[in-house]
A and B are shown apart, each in its own frame.
Chain A
């Protein structure tokens, strides 16, 4: 990297705000999808919007790629630098700037951790609703950039429903204030556009988020089934009955075993599938819906159903779910992960197809997913030491995605596109559709220097652009 740019950036943020030694940059070479490696030439850790803007302008002047990064918990190779360049880590911009409970919003810097915001307001009866399983470490800037979801997205929606405004530094070097605490405002919804644009339209330097009142009551239940298809049928029946739980999660047998071996969440190990069902809302309504859900589960062939008796049991049931993906390390050396979505009435059908696809490939598939909104996370297990297994796993992963799309689904429900799924956009969108998106991008990033190779298909598979790791594709301790 050009020394003048390094010096210029060091002058902007000071010597402690720059990481330039290759061995120190190494931790920034990938996100939680460690398969793709893309080492930045330099990592900068600014403290203010002005510093971010100055760094972006310096990079634009030098024609160097800019890659924004929050906590690096993404699962799509979004926070990697396959073309090198400057990575802007927002971790030191971690102040909560304003909390206004009567008007139900907070203004935060992008490095604030998701759960830290909820911790700051929960004693007064409020929370930040999006709850990606990474929420104890993932940043609100990253949540906004990826339009993050989570189990409770079923009732409360993804991040886009909870971001009221943003401050961004665009690829023209401008600082733009979009939206804000006043909800009703004329003009194009640029906030809604930038949320989920994965750092290709700007570096987020401030987020105005909605705060949500905690519900009066919550009930968490566990139902066990003799097959994942039966559990899926119960999910479809619950939705069709007009009950929208706060969360409705499914785990299959391999996951149950992995979770119980590690977390001891109390999932019955003889079950082939479990549903974790959370209802929240007015106490009287939760009580009525809990009975209805119980009846639907039993009618759909549930073997057992039980409701968590207290907060401790409830927390344990959730711990099992939130740490499920990490626990898969007990089952397999390696796996590839999918984030596709199907219409929720198609769940039984797609689960049968997934089993068939994995079976034909001679591989095990483990499923833990947001069943209520049809957002699947099949993990196809393989062993990198066995020749040909990785290729078969990728092939099966592709077949599953095609099957989801054929059923009316989509490529990604909450993780995002990033590097990993960029080529897959062409499965859903025509050249004309993508042209329109490119036109939008040109407004904010005319030179294509913001997070290059992400989101848009380039016509070349991602592993051609990025070095790929020989190590485990997914580490233990990741969250989906």
Chain B
């Protein structure tokens, strides 16, 4: 059967663009490889590959570069990986409109390199930002500290071309910055893990790069004091670009010797005078809240921030559980303490939080595969009092097969299941990988 499938795929994308899964380790999911990985180079090829898979009722795992294939459960079926890495062209950049259209396999790094000479940017800064594809960022809704100012892909995606499970090409949204024409299909695809349709082209809202950007780091005796200062700062008119809470372990990871127990990192972007004036206000609030300057960065340190985002990525994959926890901003430290209470001996915690958005990234190291599921269960129970959400971004491969990556999504799950069935009735796109086993 695989031979006939291979022949069909070769007829569509060419022999050099169909590879055995075993030779493409980047496209393994929790250690499992698909028989074949197809690399279409055109939208029409994506459509034909999916139509072929539909006819044979094959389970398809869509992918970009494979960075975040660890997000989501073990696929129920994995007959084919549809890798969009070759579909990576920047189609149109309209600097005067602050918009850009790209193919889904274009990387964020390539997009921002193309934008830099125009003083514009696509302001997303998740872990592995430069290598992440636009399609992958849409599917996972991955975001980083910049969301304090710029929001997430949800706020930046104006329109899409996508291919449904049966190969039908559809469009939603548009290319203009303001549009309420028809259902918001782009929003439906953001964070849907490719389970409803495979995004092949994206129309994006850009932002002007700030004239100047500076960052400051304030140390605090503990996360409670750091959060209190962050909440106080949020109640002023200071317009932050990033407002990140970091724990001691994160500070060590990004290169600070003798770090405090917690810190707030603040970025302000804008015209020089406004950056300076607001920086003074940040200092007043932080120092008034018991903070002290750890290092005063004269400039923004892009590399430092890249290291902070990347600190949420596991370094020892076989023994790491990485979580993304959502709460109300004011509950972040309560969530952190609830998490700590669930950790047993030998587990090390590294955490950062996007305070304004109530997002806590926790990387737990020293978690053996067999201990993963019970630990996750204890953590989710511990978070119940703060009405938190708790999503697994990474778990040891051996533990991933049976793990609930998403946790409860509440009473809307039946509607989500019906939505999946309405758009992909046989359940071929990323089967079993999303919430509630969708």
A and B held together in a complex: yes
The verdict on B172 contacting chain A, using a C-beta distance below 8 Å, is yes
The verdict on A184 contacting chain B, using a C-beta distance below 8 Å, is yes
Question: Please, what's the 1-or-0 string for B161-178, where 1 marks a CB less than 8 Å from any CB in chain A?
Answer: 000100011111011111
With a CB–CB cut-off of 8 A, which chain A residues contact B164?
436
With a CB–CB cut-off of 8 A, which chain B residues contact A181?
328
* B176:A161 contact, CB within 8 angstroms: no
With a CB–CB cut-off of 8 A, which chain A residues contact B234?
102, 104, 213
Question: Please, what's the 1-or-0 string for A176-193, where 1 marks a CB less than 8 Å from any CB in chain B?
Answer: 111011111111111011
With a CB–CB cut-off of 8 A, which chain A residues contact B325?
184
Question: Please, what's the 1-or-0 string for B303-332, where 1 marks a CB less than 8 Å from any CB in chain A?
Answer: 000000000000000000000111111100
Residues of B224-252 contacting chain A, CB below 8 A: 231, 234-239
The count of residues in chain B whose C-beta lies closer than 8 Å to any C-beta of chain A is 82
Residues of A95-109 contacting chain B, CB below 8 A: 100-104
* A432:B168 contact, CB within 8 angstroms: yes
Residues of A418-453 contacting chain B, CB below 8 A: 421, 425, 428-430, 432-437, 439-444
The verdict on A147 contacting chain B, using a C-beta distance below 8 Å, is yes
Residues of A104-119 contacting chain B, CB below 8 A: 104
The verdict on A324 contacting chain B, using a C-beta distance below 8 Å, is no
Known: A182-B328, A188-B416, A213-B234. A161 touches B151 (CB 8 A): yes
Closest to A189 in B: B187
Closest to A174 in B: B415
Minimum distance in angstroms from A97 CB to a CB of chain B = 16
The verdict on B340 contacting chain A, using a C-beta distance below 8 Å, is no
Minimum distance in angstroms from B92 CB to a CB of chain A = 9
With a CB–CB cut-off of 8 A, which chain B residues contact A284?
271, 273-274, 276-277
The verdict on B2 contacting chain A, using a C-beta distance below 8 Å, is no
* A432:B170 contact, CB within 8 angstroms: yes
* B171:A288 contact, CB within 8 angstroms: no
With a CB–CB cut-off of 8 A, which chain B residues contact A345?
94, 96-97
Minimum distance in angstroms from A252 CB to a CB of chain B = 20
* B406:A244 contact, CB within 8 angstroms: no
* B171:A429 contact, CB within 8 angstroms: yes
Residues of A15-46 contacting chain B, CB below 8 A: none
Closest to A407 in B: B176
With a CB–CB cut-off of 8 A, which chain A residues contact B382?
none
With a CB–CB cut-off of 8 A, which chain B residues contact A370?
178
C-alpha gap A27/B416 in the complex (Å): 38
With a CB–CB cut-off of 8 A, which chain B residues contact A411?
181
* B328:A444 contact, CB within 8 angstroms: no
With a CB–CB cut-off of 8 A, which chain A residues contact B175?
343, 408
- Which of the segments A63-71, A235-243, A267-275 contacts the partner chain? A235-243
With a CB–CB cut-off of 8 A, which chain A residues contact B96?
236, 239-240, 344-345
The verdict on A195 contacting chain B, using a C-beta distance below 8 Å, is yes
The verdict on A133 contacting chain B, using a C-beta distance below 8 Å, is no
- Which of the segments B18-26, B30-38, B417-425 contacts the partner chain? B417-425
* A240:B178 contact, CB within 8 angstroms: no
* A102:B181 contact, CB within 8 angstroms: no
With a CB–CB cut-off of 8 A, which chain B residues contact A197?
183
C-alpha gap A199/B418 in the complex (Å): 19
C-alpha gap A160/B158 in the complex (Å): 12
The verdict on A285 contacting chain B, using a C-beta distance below 8 Å, is yes
Point out the residue from B171, B236, B327 that lies within 8 Å of A182, measured CB to CB. B327
Known: A282-B239, A429-B182. A443 touches B422 (CB 8 A): yes
* B154:A190 contact, CB within 8 angstroms: no
Minimum distance in angstroms from A165 CB to a CB of chain B = 10
The verdict on B413 contacting chain A, using a C-beta distance below 8 Å, is yes
The verdict on A320 contacting chain B, using a C-beta distance below 8 Å, is no
* B329:A103 contact, CB within 8 angstroms: yes
The verdict on B374 contacting chain A, using a C-beta distance below 8 Å, is no
Minimum distance in angstroms from B174 CB to a CB of chain A = 4
The verdict on A153 contacting chain B, using a C-beta distance below 8 Å, is yes
The verdict on B53 contacting chain A, using a C-beta distance below 8 Å, is no
With a CB–CB cut-off of 8 A, which chain A residues contact B389?
182, 184-186
With a CB–CB cut-off of 8 A, which chain A residues contact B415?
170, 174, 176, 190, 443-444
* A410:B237 contact, CB within 8 angstroms: no
Residues of B134-191 contacting chain A, CB below 8 A: 151, 154-155, 164, 168-172, 174-185, 187-188, 190-191
* A432:B188 contact, CB within 8 angstroms: no
C-alpha gap A440/B98 in the complex (Å): 31
The verdict on B407 contacting chain A, using a C-beta distance below 8 Å, is yes
The verdict on A289 contacting chain B, using a C-beta distance below 8 Å, is yes
The verdict on B357 contacting chain A, using a C-beta distance below 8 Å, is yes
Known: A183-B359, A213-B237, A243-B208. A196 touches B183 (CB 8 A): yes
The verdict on A415 contacting chain B, using a C-beta distance below 8 Å, is yes
Question: Please, what's the 1-or-0 string for B374-412, where 1 marks a CB less than 8 Å from any CB in chain A?
Answer: 000000000000011101000000000000001101111
The 10 closest A-B pairs by CB, nearest first: A184-B326, A242-B208, A192-B187, A285-B274, A216-B237, A345-B96, A284-B274, A187-B409, A284-B273, A282-B274
A-B contact pairs, 10 of them (CB 8 A): A161-B151, A178-B412, A183-B326, A184-B326, A187-B435, A189-B192, A240-B95, A283-B274, A344-B96, A429-B171
Known: A170-B415, A343-B175, A440-B419. 5 other contacts (CB 8 A): A176-B415, A187-B413, A213-B235, A214-B237, A285-B271
Q: Which residues of A contact B (CB under 8 A)?
A: 100-104, 125, 146-147, 149, 153, 157-158, 160-161, 170, 174, 176-178, 180-190, 192-193, 195-197, 213-216, 236, 239-240, 242-244, 281-285, 287-289, 341-345, 370, 373-375, 408-417, 421, 425, 428-430, 432-437, 439-444, 455
Q: Which residues of B contact A (CB under 8 A)?
A: 94-99, 119-120, 151, 154-155, 164, 168-172, 174-185, 187-188, 190-192, 196-197, 207-209, 231, 234-239, 270-271, 273-274, 276-278, 324-330, 356-359, 387-389, 391, 406-407, 409-413, 415-416, 418-419, 422-423, 435
